[in-house]
Amino acid sequence: MPTGPGEEPLDLLGIGVGPANLALAALADGLPDLRVACVEERPAFRWHPGLLIEEATLQVPFLADLVTLVDPTSRWSFLNWLRERGRLFPFYFAERFHIPRVEYEAYCRWAAERLPNLRFGLRAEGMRREPDGLLAVRITPTGTPGGVGGEAAGWVRTRNVVLGLGTAPHLPAPLRLAAERDGAPVLHSAEYLDHRERLLRARHVTVIGSGQSGAEVLLDLLRRRPAGREGLHWLTRSPAFAPMEYSKLGLEHFTPDYTRYFHSLPETTRDALVARQWQLHKAVDHETLAALHDELYHHDLALPDDAWPQVVLTPGVEVRTVEPLGSGRLRLELHHAEQGVDSSLTTDAVVAATGYRERSVEALLAGLGEAVRRDAAGRPVIGADHRVELSDGAPGAVFSAGAERHTHGVGTPDLGLMAHRAATVINGVAGRERYPLPARTAFTTFGAVRGAADAPRPTGTPSAASLPGPRGGPVPDAAGSADPAGSG
């Protein structure tokens, strides 16, 4: 795969193959005049394998697949996968809008195993600017089983790069230190299925974290442990086990319209908004909360009148330290914020559903040095078209596919925006609209109110320039500028 100075460079190299760059590869597959490849250090595609719990469903509709919201005619759509497997009629009669998570992962693996522009078993280790203005990325075979054979280490020359490094499980310091010690297991929920049988044998298990993963882990353990011997605690720092904001207008925060508006705001305003909008993406969906309550109710029914289920759900509690006990158990030192009370809890295992953090892109951006523009917090400045802003004036661009929450908001990792972002990147690389994108995606108009006399009155099919964009101006074009003549 390395390309020498005399060879034709790639038009776009994707680094990382999660759903984001898988969508990019799928949309690029229909454009034979663009030379696109994506590299991934793992030997094959996997998506959250430790959380593919049998009953768990995707939190977005199946239309949020790799391509449909941009190109529903693509052969890489979820519906075409069903057709190829002979499952369209069973899916039709199942009347599922939210599909099982294991089904989504199987669909993505199907695409990853067939797309010709993916290379697994290759790690990107550095990036530099070439004398002719192109970018070069250093790749090294990982030597992992199942990886692509015959690849040599070297530099891949490309006109553009898209960074899709994904996220990594996050453990707060007290839990991370405990996880590094031998003894009772302290693990992230990302590893849950790998350890489920061990956890079911434990006398007592503590789940920490009030998001969707924590709720699903607790529900799965509760379903598999007998009434009266559940031995479960669910703890969170949040003041409540809160439901996800899932109203139809609330979901418009996950539209390109809102993303453009969010990007137009000052940096300090954006940072404050992300912190306040936790209930849009860190809470629990209503169906999971209802299933938990139903399960608790049935456990309660199975007990004698004078007994109580051994399940404790406590919000507002912070884990201060985790200490091993001589018996192979753990003692958690806790603090209840509202009461100001300290307490302790003894447990046999901890599952930390404490979320994920974006993998750092800094090691790859380091080769571009001072050319990378930074905000006040030292983060890369990323344009509305997901382009990392560079000051060197060279033609090659670096795009972000997942590391732009600080500039694009809580919808950054959302599967429903994935195809739109990939199409935006492809349009930017091609220099023209290879995939037409909708000018309006929400009923809500975000930003300052304009008088009715000032409202646009488009006729026929509206163009991007005729519809309100951020702050009531025209919609930014593919380069991120508010060009009244642009097509959006």
SS3 of the chain: the string is CCCCCCCCCECEEEECCCHHHHHHHHHHCCCCCCCEEEEECCCCCCCCHHHCCCCCECCCCCCCCCCCCCCCCCCCCHHHHHHHCCCHHHHHHHCCCCCEHHHHHHHHHHHHHHCCCEEECEEEEEEEECCCCCEEEEEEECCCCCCCCCCCCEEEEECEEEECCCEEECCCHHHHHHHCCCCCCEEEHHHHHHHHHHHHHCCCEEEECCCHHHHHHHHHHHHHCCCCCCCEEEECCCCCCCECCCCCCHHHHHCHHHHHHHHHCCHHHHHHHHHHCHHHCCCECHHHHHHHHHHHHHHHHCCCCCCCCCEEEECCEEEEEEEECCCCCEEEEEEECCCCEEEEEEECEEEECCCEEECCCHHHHHHHHHHECECCCCCECECCCCEECECCCCCCEEEECCCCHHHHCCCCCCHHHHHHHHHHHHHHHHCCCCCCCCCCCCCCCCCCCCCHHHCCCCCCCCCHHHCECHHHCECCCCCCCCCCCCCC
Please tell me the distance from the alpha carbon of residue 381 to that of residue 234, in angstroms, as a whole number: 39
Using CB atoms within 10 A of its CB, is residue 164 exposed (0-12), middle (13-18) or buried (19+)?
Answer: buried
Q: Which residue has the tokens 């599909």?
A: 99
Of the candidates 34, 6, 41, 13, the one whose C-alpha atom is nearest the C-alpha of residue 435 is 34
Please say whether the beta carbons of 50 and 190 come within 8 A: yes
**One-letter amino acid for residue 298 of the chain:** H
Q: Which residue has the tokens 């391509």?
A: 67
Please say whether the beta carbons of 406 and 399 come within 8 A: no
Using CB atoms within 10 A of its CB, is residue 380 exposed (0-12), middle (13-18) or buried (19+)?
Answer: buried
Please tell me the distance from the alpha carbon of residue 163 to that of residue 12, in angstroms, as a whole number: 11
Q: What's the CATH architecture for 12-166+359-430?
A: 3-Layer(bba) Sandwich (3.50)
Please say whether the beta carbons of 251 and 410 come within 8 A: no
What local confidence, expressed as pLDDT, does residue 326 receive?
77
What local confidence, expressed as pLDDT, does residue 151 receive?
63
pLDDT tens per residue across all 488 residues of the chain:
666 556 799 999 999 999 999 999 999 998 999 999 999 999 999 999 999 999 999 999 999 999 999 999 999 999 999 999 999 999 999 999 999 999 999 999 999 999 999 999 999 999 999 999 999 999 999 976 544 444 678 999 999 999 999 999 999 999 999 998 877 799 999 999 999 999 999 999 999 998 999 999 999 999 999 888 899 999 999 999 999 998 999 999 999 999 999 999 999 999 999 999 989 988 999 999 999 999 999 999 988 887 777 999 999 999 999 999 878 899 999 999 999 999 999 999 999 999 999 999 999 999 999 999 999 999 999 999 999 999 988 888 999 999 999 999 999 999 999 999 999 999 999 999 999 999 999 999 999 887 765 555 544 434 333 333 333 333 333 333 333 233 22
Using CB atoms within 10 A of its CB, is residue 97 exposed (0-12), middle (13-18) or buried (19+)?
Answer: exposed
Please tell me the distance from the alpha carbon of residue 256 to that of residue 234, in angstroms, as a whole number: 36
What local confidence, expressed as pLDDT, does residue 460 receive?
43
- Where do the structural domains in the chain lie, given as residue ranges? 12-166+359-430, 169-244+281-355
> Can you name the residues that pair with 14 across neighbouring β-strands?
38, 162
Please tell me the distance from the alpha carbon of residue 447 to that of residue 97, in angstroms, as a whole number: 31
Structure tokens at 304: 């004698």
CA 288 to chain centre: 20
What local confidence, expressed as pLDDT, does residue 327 receive?
81
Please say whether the beta carbons of 28 and 65 come within 8 A: no
What local confidence, expressed as pLDDT, does residue 480 receive?
32
The answer to whether the 12-166+359-430 and 169-244+281-355 domains have the same CATH topology is yes
Residues 6+ apart with CB under 8 A from 447: 261, 264, 468, 470, 471, 472
Length of the chain: 488
Q: What's the CATH architecture for 169-244+281-355?
A: 3-Layer(bba) Sandwich (3.50)
